[in-house]
């Protein structure tokens, strides 16, 4: 998804902006650009492709500027091209803008502006904003921006600079994320924290409906009426090293290996948080979980735990479906909104609509200060550290960890388990981190196995009960980074359709720890074998039966049946990773995907 950066201060803006843009590339992009003001003139450089193209274009040009904005674009309106890349400017080259999100009424605004004599150069919706600002500019940039945003419909974040006022950046947030970074004699702007981590950890996340005016020595925040707003400063709890590859070939592999730490840190963070719930559990008769992608799969595992331990019915709904469905919600409903980024538009808007209907919304987020963190009634944090690879790995483990802890916390609050039992269970659960560590030793073996299946055109993943979501997650991971078609299924459903797909060319990954559904899934495995399917199984070490029936067997350490989803998913992530890597694909930035999906 698009990335915004801005810099104003004593240093040369160009290297700062380029470095910050590079930190945003994990979000996915197809073109990049930068605008600075030098000697009173706007200088704009834009390139299609990777940031290095932009860096090359700037080589040897000794621009010196103390103000600038930059952008990585992920095309929505208009194909990837230099004309459509941001920054976009007015024809007088006095204003430049970078923008994330979508201006829904851009067509009618464009027609109106063309009638007034404005000349458009791109197919983007963004360009209308800069023309509107130029149209409304009467000697005060902030006032022109305030007037322009009244005309815009949609969700957006943008930053604008002008040759008329070269000492400031004006930035607007409505829907898409935007944060201000605070320095000494310099200030920063970015759509995501990693962009400014090399420079500062002090940030002000903007809320929807806010405008920031940055000079090198000040940051002032206003609402859309132009009235000042006072804001809290957040200190980002990560350092720059945690957002670097640290010797691993890809961020994804590094993050897979960080799972044990993510689990331990999430347990530690949970225990240090105030565990008094800001609602009365006696009033809650139902839980609805809303989330997307991997977070949705974590929610599905959480449902089994919550229903088993806390005995509260828990429905899990895709956030994108929830928002437009007529799900009965009232003040007795607890909504769990799960999002590692805390910026996923579908999840945020679903959470806001649940809140409007009277539900209590608990955010489960990894990014402190993110939009969902601030919009939820209260937040429980996963402590996975920054996740850069588009594929969610360690944040999924952290979400599972937190959901298990929530399930027993709710059980304790309902007096279903004693305080002592609650803490005893957590002590036992802590051992999961070392079981994950042990499972990671499968890395090389899985790399070998991957080489045998990497040319498959389709792979099925089957699991039951707690590991049905694991099958969904294994399939999602594989398809998003390797582009191999994959389906996750509850194994019992196979006979109702997917079994027709099985022949000697179809690899089937079967997740079969020795739990309450083990015998059932072994029968499903037999069904696959009798159709000549090629079985890759994941099961407990020492399971000779499973090993003997499988073409490949991945052994995981014995674990209490309730906690197996934290372990079984580990080999599946490695399997997807090695297949994508061996196919020579861009593992961390798969095609067509973005890390943070801020459009609906
Ligand atoms: O930031 P979120 O947890 O809200 O993101 C939700 C999905 O976009 C995300 O999990 C996506 O499915 C991942 N790329 C999966 O690996």
Please tell me the residue having the least CA distance from ligand 1 atom 4.
Answer: 339
pLDDT of residue 506: 95
pLDDT of residue 101: 87
Choice from 252, 255, 295, 595 to test ligand 1 binding pocket (greatest atom count within 8 A of CB) = 295
- The string of pLDDT tens digits covering residues 468-489 is 999 999 999 999 999 999 999 9
- The string of pLDDT tens digits covering residues 87-140 is 999 999 999 999 998 889 999 999 999 999 999 999 888 999 999 999 999 999
Asked if 2 is an active-site residue, the reply is yes
CA atoms of 162 and 118, how far apart (whole Å) = 17
Q: What is the mean pLDDT of residues 413-434?
A: 96
Answer CATH for 439-582 from 3.30.2270.10, 3.40.50.10490, 3.20.10.10, 3.60.21.10: 3.40.50.10490
- Band of pLDDT at residue 77, cut at 50, 70 and 90: confident
Cβ of 597 closer than 6 Å to ligand 1, yes or no, is: yes
pLDDT of residue 241: 63
Residues pairing with 162 in the sheet: 95
Please tell me the residue having the least CA distance from ligand 1 atom 12.
Answer: 293
Asked if 292 is an active-site residue, the reply is no
The chain-wide mean pLDDT, for the chain, equals 93
Q: Which two tokens stand for residue 422?
A: 């609650």
Domain boundaries, the chain: 3-243, 253-430, 439-582
pLDDT of residue 245: 79
Helix (H) or strand (E) run with residue 146 in it = helix 141-149
Whole-number Cα distances in Å, 408 to 17, 256, 528: 46, 26, 37
pLDDT of residue 211: 98
Helix, strand or coil, per DSSP, at residue 68? strand
Q: What is the mean pLDDT of residues 40-45?
A: 95
- Band of pLDDT at residue 80, cut at 50, 70 and 90: confident
What percent of the chain stands above pLDDT 90? 81
Helix (H) or strand (E) run with residue 99 in it = strand 95-103
pLDDT of residue 380: 95
Cis peptide bond upstream of 87, omega within 30:
yes
Strands 286-291 and 333-339: parallel
pTM of the predicted model as reported, rounded to 2 decimal places: 0.77
pLDDT value at 551 more than 90: yes
Q: Which fold has domain 253-430?
A: Rossmann fold (3.40.50)
pLDDT value at 51 more than 90: no
Q: What is the mean pLDDT of residues 81-88?
A: 91
48-62, 140-154, 324-338: segment of lowest average pLDDT: 48-62
Cβ of 302 closer than 6 Å to ligand 1, yes or no, is: no
CA atoms of 157 and 151, how far apart (whole Å) = 14
CA atoms of 394 and 374, how far apart (whole Å) = 23
What is the architecture of the domain spanning 3-243? Answer: 4-Layer Sandwich (3.60)
Q: Which two tokens stand for residue 489?
A: 């299924």
Q: What is the mean pLDDT of residues 170-180?
A: 92
pLDDT of residue 240: 65
Please tell me the residue having the least CA distance from ligand 1 atom 7.
Answer: 293
pLDDT value at 373 more than 70: yes
Domains 253-430 and 439-582 share a fold: yes
pLDDT of residue 262: 96
pLDDT of residue 128: 96
pLDDT of residue 27: 65
Helix, strand or coil, per DSSP, at residue 13? helix
Choice from 251, 344, 589 to test ligand 1 binding pocket (greatest atom count within 8 A of CB) = 344
Going 398 to 401 to 407 to 408, the CA torsion angle's sign is negative
Q: Which two tokens stand for residue 292?
A: 């997307």
Beta strands in 292-349 (DSSP E): 314-318, 333-339
Q: What is the mean pLDDT of residues 427-450?
A: 96
Cβ of 347 closer than 6 Å to ligand 1, yes or no, is: yes
Helix (H) or strand (E) run with residue 412 in it = helix 394-413
Please tell me the residue having the least CA distance from ligand 1 atom 14.
Answer: 391
């Amino acid at each position: 998804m698009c990335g915004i950066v801005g810099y104003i201060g004593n240093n040369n803006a160009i290297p700062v902006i380029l470095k910050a843009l590079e930190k945003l590339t994990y979000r996915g992009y197809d073109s990049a650009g930068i605008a600075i003001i030098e000697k009173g003139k706007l200088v704009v450089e834009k390139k299609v492709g990777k940031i290095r193209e932009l860096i090359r274009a700037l080589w040897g040009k000794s621009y010196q500027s103390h103000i600038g904005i930059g952008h990585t674009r992920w095309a929505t309106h208009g194909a990837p091209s230099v004309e459509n890349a941001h920054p976009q400017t007015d024809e007088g080259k006095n204003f430049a803008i970078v923008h994330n999100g979508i201006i829904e009424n851009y067509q009618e605004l464009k027609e109106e502006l063309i009638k007034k004599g404005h000349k458009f150069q791109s197919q983007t919706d963004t360009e209308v904003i800069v023309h509107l600002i130029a149209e409304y500019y009467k000697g005060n940039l902030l006032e022109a921006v305030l007037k322009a945003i009244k005309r815009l419909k949609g969700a957006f974040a943008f930053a604008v600079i002008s040759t008329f006022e070269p000492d400031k950046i004006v930035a607007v947030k409505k829907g898409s994320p935007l944060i201000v970074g605070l320095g000494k004699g310099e200030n920063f702007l970015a759509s995501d924290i990693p962009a400014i981590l090399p420079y500062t950890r002090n940030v002000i996340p903007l809320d929807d409906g806010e405008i920031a005016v940055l000079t090198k020595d000040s940051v002032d925040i206003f609402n859309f009426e132009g009235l000042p707003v006072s804001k809290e400063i957040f200190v980002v709890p990560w350092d720059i090293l945690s957002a670097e590859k640290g010797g691993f070939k890809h961020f994804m592999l590094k993050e897979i290996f960080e799972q044990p730490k993510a689990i331990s840190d999430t347990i530690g963070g949970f225990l240090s948080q105030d565990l008094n719930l800001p609602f009365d559990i006696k009033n809650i008769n139902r839980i609805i979980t809303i989330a997307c992608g991997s977070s949705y799969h974590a929610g599905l595992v959480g449902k089994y735990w919550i229903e088993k331990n806390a005995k509260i019915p828990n429905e899990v709904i895709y956030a994108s479906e929830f928002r437009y469905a007529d799900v009965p919600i009232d003040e007795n409903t607890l909504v769990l909104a799960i999002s590692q980024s805390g910026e996923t538009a579908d999840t945020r808007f679903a959470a806001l609509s649940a809140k409007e209907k009277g539900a209590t919304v608990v955010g489960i987020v990894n990014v402190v200060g993110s939009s969902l963190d601030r919009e939820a009634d209260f937040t429980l944090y996963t402590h996975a550290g920054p996740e850069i690879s588009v594929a969610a790995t360690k944040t999924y483990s952290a979400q599972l960890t937190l959901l298990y802890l929530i399930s027993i916390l709710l059980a304790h609050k309902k007096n279903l388990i004693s305080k002592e039992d609650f803490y005893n269970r957590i002590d036992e659960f802590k051992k999961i981190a070392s079981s994950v560590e042990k499972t990671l030793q499968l890395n090389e073996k899985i790399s070998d196995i991957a080489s045998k299946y990497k040319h498959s055109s389709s792979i099925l993943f089957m699991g039951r009960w707690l590991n049905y979501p694991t099958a969904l997650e294994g399939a999602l991971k594989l398809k998003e980074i390797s582009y191999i078609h994959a389906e996750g299924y509850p194994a019992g459903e196979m006979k109702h359709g997917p079994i027709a797909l099985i022949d000697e060319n179809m690899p089937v990954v079967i997740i079969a720890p020795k739990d309450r559904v083990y015998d059932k899934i072994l029968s499903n495995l037999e069904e696959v074998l009798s159709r000549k399917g090629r079985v890759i199984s994941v099961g407990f070490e020492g399971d000779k039966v499973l090993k003997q029936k499988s073409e490949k067997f991945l052994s995981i350490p014995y674990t209490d049946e309730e906690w197996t989803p934290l372990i079984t998913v580990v080999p599946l992530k490695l399997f997807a990773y090695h297949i994508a890597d061996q196919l020579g694909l861009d593992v961390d930035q798969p095609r067509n995907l973005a890390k943070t999906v801020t459009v609906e």
